Amino acid sequence: MLSLYAFETPVIFNEPQPASDYLSEVKKELIKKWPNNRTINLVFHGHSVPSGYFKTPTVNTFASYPFQVLKLLKDKYPYAVINVIITSIGGENSVSGLKRFEEDVLNHKPDILFIDYALNDRSVGLDESRKAWEKMIKRARQDGIKIILLTPSPDVGIKLTDNDNELEKHSNQIKELSKKYNIGLADSYSRFKQISEGCDCINDYMSQVNHPNEKGHLVITNEIMKYFND
């Protein structure tokens, strides 16, 4: 069994770390004991990567980052009742994801919503994807939901060290949305880019051209877990 910490690589970032208090209210709930606790819903909305697709058509659910996050959260919060809810669909982009947002996502009453569509949003372009992300963000904020946006994981057909590539552009747009709406950001793209610059070994993190393997999912997991640091 692969350890969740087996591939953690110390990396120094010039950008500030995520605000440790963004999820402060959720973390207060996670430490409560029965009968004073309640179920915390984590909803992961996006495409094939959070769905758990590794080498298509294999779906490795428990090695995907939503369930890696669940494992680490349960280690940290042993009294918590946590639901991981996957509303992702392989092959989907944010424009399609927006159409079912009310019924498939908000219906679950998320405490934290994770949005991960950038890999597939290349098919609809920056303008259309921005509109879709903004509509989902605004609607979720109306319900007081905490939101964490995810920058893309790699596609081996794209050179991450090329600062003008499509994934870089979508990543920058997602960062801008995070700042505009003062919401969370799990910037796995920058982490993968730094790995690529350091060792040119991005294939070691991939199960196929556009799907991370368990080691790659751990990179994403570690970016999310920064929000649960004390």
9 part of a folded domain: no
Kindly state whether residue 37 falls inside one of the protein's structural domains: yes
On whether residue 186 sits in a domain, the answer given is: yes
- Report the domain count for the chain: 1
- Has residue 100 been placed in a domain? yes
- With both helix axes pointing from N to C terminus, report the angle between 166-181 and 188-199 in degrees, rounded to the nearest 10: 140
Backbone angle region of 42, left / alpha / beta, with phi > 0 → left and psi within -120 to 50 → alpha: beta
Domain assignment present for 88:
yes
Exposure of 120 in the CB half-sphere (CA atoms within 13 A): 22
Residue 18, domain member (yes or no): no
Question: Which residue range forms the structural domain that includes residue 163?
Answer: 24-228
pLDDT at 19: 61
Q: Which residues contact 62 (CB under 8 A, 6 or more apart)?
A: none
Q: State the residue for tokens 């280690």.
A: 75
**CA torsion, ordered 15, 21, 22, 23, to nearest 10 deg:** 130
Please report, for the domain that includes residue 201, its CATH number. 3.40.50.1110
Cβ 71 vs Cβ 64: under 8 Å: no
Let me know if residue 45 belongs to a domain: yes
- Tell whether 76 is covered by a domain: yes
- Indicate the pTM of the whole model: 0.91
pLDDT tens series, the chain, 230 aa: 344 433 343 333 334 444 678 999 999 999 999 999 999 999 999 999 999 999 999 999 999 999 999 999 999 999 999 999 999 999 999 999 999 999 999 999 999 999 999 999 999 999 999 999 999 999 999 999 999 999 999 999 999 999 999 999 999 999 999 999 999 999 999 999 999 998 879 999 999 999 999 999 999 999 999 999 87
Instruction: Tell whether the torsion through CA atoms of 187, 204, 228 and 135 is positive or negative.
Output: positive
123-129-132-137 Cα dihedral, nearest 10 degrees: 130
Q: CA–CA separation, 220 vs 205, rounded Å? A: 11
C-beta atoms surrounding 208 within 10 Å? 14
| pLDDT computed for residue 225 by the predictor | 96
